[in-house]
Structure 1
Amino acid sequence: MNAIRVPPGRSGRQWLRGRLGSAEHAAALLEQKLRALRTEQGRLAEAAAHTHDELLAQAERTKTWTLRAALTAGRRGMRLACTGAEADVTISWSTTAGVRHPTGVTCSTPSGAADVPTGTAVARAVQEQRRMLGAALQHAVAASALRRLTAETDTTQRRVRVLRRHWVPLLRKTLAHVELELEEREQAENLRHRVASHTGQNRETE
């Protein structure tokens, strides 16, 4: 452990007590934050796993209907079903224990396929592809939020570990050392006073 530069005398003791109190308070606050982060991290982990499973299932449905559409309508039919319009995506955000993270997403897709008859298989394929986009966005939000919370959880845990395992013990050890030195100094001063007083009394009696 590295030594701490402490002001001399009794002011050093007060200084150390203040630093120790601040360190313990900071550790308690960080531990409280860590509990909140871990709770939210667990919830987000479940959400990310669920949206991942939904994404995989939707990917299979999309693949099936896209293949059917390609077989029934051909490349030309698939191309005619595309309007070229882009989806409009809006992400909502929130803050948990000081960490900003996405919480939801809305996606507005083009109103429909081009006004060209392409068959029911193509229409269903377009529908499944839109659902695929929605599932991918939902998973992206959950996974991004989980990454952000996990990173902050790891950082907070390291800070707590530094405080509890290094800084607080070092302050306590240094404070104990300073208090011992002050006590020994006070005892030595008291002894000198008694010796001086006893010497003065002996001189008066001579």
Structure 2
Amino acid sequence: MSAHGRQVPTGRAGRLRLRRSLATALRGADLLERKLRLLLDREHAERRAAEEADRIWRDRLAEADAWLVRGVLLGGERALADAVPVDRAFIDVEWDALMGVRHPATVAWTAPVRSPTEPTPSNTALAHAETAYLAAVPAAAEHAAHTAAAQLLAAEAERTRQRVRALRRHWIPRLENQLSAVELALEEAEHEEAVRRRWAATHGGG
């Protein structure tokens, strides 16, 4: 017997081998389905977090833009240029792993620090704009990190789903069919052997 070019084992040893292969395939499918559930749960959590961060980011950005326009109207573009600190913001992304999938986990945010010699915003509107922008930046970073994590987890979930489908729809049924064929052949062989023994017994072993 053969299937897709591969030799199907026969006899009692073949039956044992097929039973072991089938048990391994079933156990593997169960483990992959468990992995898939964990990946999907985390992906959904990451997408919800990304949506919340996106809402905060856009709200803060709109607020900051509105204050910025007021501040520039009050103090001019020169006031805006003077209000920008020399220091820059820093964002550090820490990574985690779930079921072998590395993905962004947390975002560490360091706001720019204005030195004592640097001028502060010359009017209240620019001060409000600075505060709103400082709130928008980490929210944007959180949104990007959660979105990237969701995409990485979704990609691995799809690969895992394909592996489960291959096992459940193709490999496991093939092993079950092969095992059934081997067991049927063994039953027939045992039946024929029993018939021969009865015949030999009734004919004196001749």
Aligned 8 A contact 2:10 2:182 in 1: no
The partner residue of 2:18 within 16, 19, 30 is 16
User: Counterpart of 1:54?
Assistant: 56
RMSD (Å), alpha carbons = 2.2
Structure 2: where are the runs of 5+ without partners? none
Report matched runs for 1:1-206 at 5 Å: 2=4, 4-112=6-114, 115-116=118-119, 118-201=122-205
Instruction: Give me the whole-angstrom Cα distance separating, in 2, the residues matched to 1:146 and 1:164.
Output: 26
Q: How many residues align?
A: 202
C-alpha deviations, 1:117-153, integer Å up to 9, x for none? 5322222222222211111011112111211221122
Instruction: Give me the whole-angstrom Cα distance separating, in 1, the residues matched to 2:31 and 2:5.
Output: 26
Instruction: Give me the whole-angstrom Cα distance separating, in 2, the residues matched to 1:48 and 1:120.
Output: 31
Instruction: Give me the whole-angstrom Cα distance separating, in 1, the residues matched to 2:11 and 2:125.
Output: 87
Deviation at 1:112?
2.5
Aligned 8 A contact 2:56 2:136 in 1: no
Query: CA 1:128/1:58 → structure 2, altered by over 3 Å: closer, same or farther?
Result: same
TM-score (norm 1): 0.87
Aligned 8 A contact 1:4 1:174 in 2: no
C-alpha deviations, 1:55-83, integer Å up to 9, x for none? 22112112111212222222222222223
Give 2:119's aligned amino acid.
V
Instruction: Give me the whole-angstrom Cα distance separating, in 2, the residues matched to 1:5 and 1:101.
Output: 42
TM-score (norm 2): 0.87
SS for the counterpart of 1:184 is helix
Q: Percent identity?
A: 35
SS for the counterpart of 2:7 is coil
